[in-house]
């Protein structure tokens, strides 16, 4: 009788364990399904908002802002009026991080290293001086105004190199918050657009020929889109000179990121925080590889039709727009004024001085 009772108890315990295990497996499957559901819906959401932003950027007036700025503004407004969509967090985070890195890698295909190097060291020296001036002055003004250091540094880097793309490239190295990256990208897109429009209005009043005006635009304005916006009205020669000058600054994004990585490592070691590991941003290797491939392999060895390259460019912009939506959704507009006003003032003063000094340098 005792043996039978113990056997019954053992069988009951086994059944109970199996039931608990089955419930655990079911719960895991349910969580896995929920995560995949959140991932796909979140990616789809950022895609939808970025497409609407792209469409908005084709409208008169909004075409001055471009798809990145329009997308991030829509994300900011959605967060302000509708709150953060928690159910889509997985996909939104994927867009703001993974898709952002993929877009930066593809952005390297736009960089023609061969064309810049053919112009000699003079152009790269000018570009390097512009970057050093913009970063140092913005951060110095930031300290003077007691600004948010992370946003101020991002704005200085964006002003000196290539706007939102540079901010997106360095943010993983600096380990800035998504909110700080979004504020930096949004503000530099807005200020850069205002400057580009201002350049076009000033052009008829300046004693510069088309090539000089194009070179000035390329060496001083924030993003490639801003350079194109300002230089295109002066003609094809001015646009070519502007893009060449701008590409010299974009090219220096590669060594700048590696220098920034070394600086971050030394700063952490100096602070005796050796327990905190500084991960190497592997997407930088992809960016360098894409730049080399776009400059040499796809030009000399493998001829890629312009239509395909244009398609890659569109995909790159779309991925960047989706990333901007993901970043923008992390920004609380109610806190924006307190965090962004002073850094933007520092960037604005730096941009004005940069425009004046590069004009006198011509």
288: CB partners within 8 A, 6+ apart = 108, 254
Which 3-state string (H, E, C) describes 44-97? HHHHHHHHHHHHHCCCCCHHHCCHHHHHHHHHHHHHHHHCCCHHHHHHHHHHHH
Question: How much is the pLDDT for 316?
Answer: 87
> Token pair for residue 38?
């959140």
234: CB partners within 8 A, 6+ apart = 203, 210, 213, 214
What separation in angstroms does the CA of 102 have from each of 105, 299, 315? Answer: 5, 22, 10
Answer whether residue 331 is part of any domain.
yes
- pLDDT bucket at 272, cuts 50 / 70 / 90: very low
Answer whether residue 231 is part of any domain.
yes
**Domain of residue 196, residue span:** 98-361
Residue 335 has pLDDT above 80, yes or no: no
- pLDDT bucket at 336, cuts 50 / 70 / 90: low
How many CA atoms does the CB half-sphere of 144 hold within 13 Å? 10
3-state secondary structure of 223: coil
Average pLDDT score over the chain: 83
Answer whether residue 44 is part of any domain.
no
| pLDDT tens digits, 205-264 | 999 999 899 999 999 999 887 888 788 788 878 888 888 898 889 889 889 988 998 888
Answer whether residue 145 is part of any domain.
yes
- pLDDT bucket at 276, cuts 50 / 70 / 90: very low
Number of domains in the chain: 1
| CB-CB neighbours of 147 under 10 Å | 24
Distance of CA 251 to the CA centre of its chain: 16
Answer whether residue 27 is part of any domain.
no
Cβ burial 83-105 (10 Å sphere, 16+ → b, else e): eebeebbbbbbbbbbebbbbbbb
Question: How much is the pLDDT for 104?
Answer: 80
For residues 310-327, average pLDDT:
87
Overall pTM > 0.85: no
Residue with the bigger pLDDT between 155 and 21: it is: 155
What is the rounded CA–CA span in Å between residue 335 and residue 106?
Answer: 33
> Token pair for residue 275?
């327990």
Residue 31 has pLDDT above 70, yes or no: no
229: CB partners within 8 A, 6+ apart = 64, 193, 196, 197, 200
Question: How much is the pLDDT for 275?
Answer: 46
Answer whether residue 11 is part of any domain.
no
What is the rounded CA–CA span in Å between residue 279 and residue 154?
Answer: 19
User: Minimum mean pLDDT among 76-80, 143-147, 166-170, 298-302: which range?
Assistant: 298-302
For residues 95-109, average pLDDT:
84
Question: How much is the pLDDT for 199?
Answer: 93
How many CA atoms does the CB half-sphere of 325 hold within 13 Å? 32
Answer whether residue 346 is part of any domain.
yes
User: Minimum mean pLDDT among 135-144, 284-293, 343-352: which range?
Assistant: 284-293
Answer whether residue 173 is part of any domain.
yes
Question: How much is the pLDDT for 281?
Answer: 63
Question: How much is the pLDDT for 25?
Answer: 57
What separation in angstroms does the CA of 187 have from each of 68, 167, 264? Answer: 11, 11, 25
Residue 153 has pLDDT above 60, yes or no: yes
- pLDDT bucket at 273, cuts 50 / 70 / 90: very low
């Amino acid at each position: 009788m005792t043996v039978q009772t113990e056997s019954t108890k053992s069988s009951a315990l086994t059944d109970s364990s199996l039931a608990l295990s089955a419930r655990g497996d079911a719960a895991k499957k349910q969580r896995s399904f929920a995560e995949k559901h959140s991932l796909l819906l979140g990616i789809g959401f950022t895609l939808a908002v970025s497409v609407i932003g792209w469409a908005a950027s084709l409208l008169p007036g909004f075409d001055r802002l471009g798809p990145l700025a329009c997308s991030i503004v829509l994300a900011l407004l959605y967060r302000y009026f509708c709150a953060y969509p928690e159910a889509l967090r997985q996909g939104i985070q994927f867009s703001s991080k993974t898709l952002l890195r993929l877009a930066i890698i593809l952005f390297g295909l736009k960089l023609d290293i061969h064309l810049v190097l053919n112009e000699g060291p003079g152009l790269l020296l000018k570009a390097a001086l512009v970057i050093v001036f913009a970063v140092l002055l913005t951060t110095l003004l930031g300290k003077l105004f007691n600004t948010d250091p992370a946003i101020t540094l991002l704005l200085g880097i964006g002003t000196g190199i290539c706007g939102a793309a540079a901010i997106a490239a360095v943010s993983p190295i600096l380990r800035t918050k998504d909110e700080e990256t979004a504020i930096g990208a949004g503000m530099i897109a807005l200020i850069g657009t205002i400057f580009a429009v201002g350049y076009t209005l000033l052009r008829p009043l300046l004693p510069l020929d088309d090539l000089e005006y194009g070179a000035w635009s390329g060496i001083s304005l924030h993003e490639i889109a801003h350079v194109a916006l300002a230089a295109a009205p002066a003609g094809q020669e001015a646009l070519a000179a502007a893009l060449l000058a701008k590409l010299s600054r974009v090219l220096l994004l590669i060594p700048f990121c590696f220098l920034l990585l070394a600086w971050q490592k030394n700063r952490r070691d100096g602070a005796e925080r050796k327990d905190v590991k500084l991960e190497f941003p592997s997407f930088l290797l992809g960016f360098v590889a894409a730049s080399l491939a776009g400059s040499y392999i796809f030009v000399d060895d493998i001829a890629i039709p312009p239509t395909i390259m244009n398609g890659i460019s569109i995909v790159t912009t779309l991925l960047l727009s989706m990333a901007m939506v993901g970043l923008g959704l992390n920004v609380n507009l109610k806190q924006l004024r307190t965090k962004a006003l002073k850094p933007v003032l520092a960037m604005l003063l730096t941009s004005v001085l940069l425009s004046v000094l590069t004009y006198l340098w011509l």
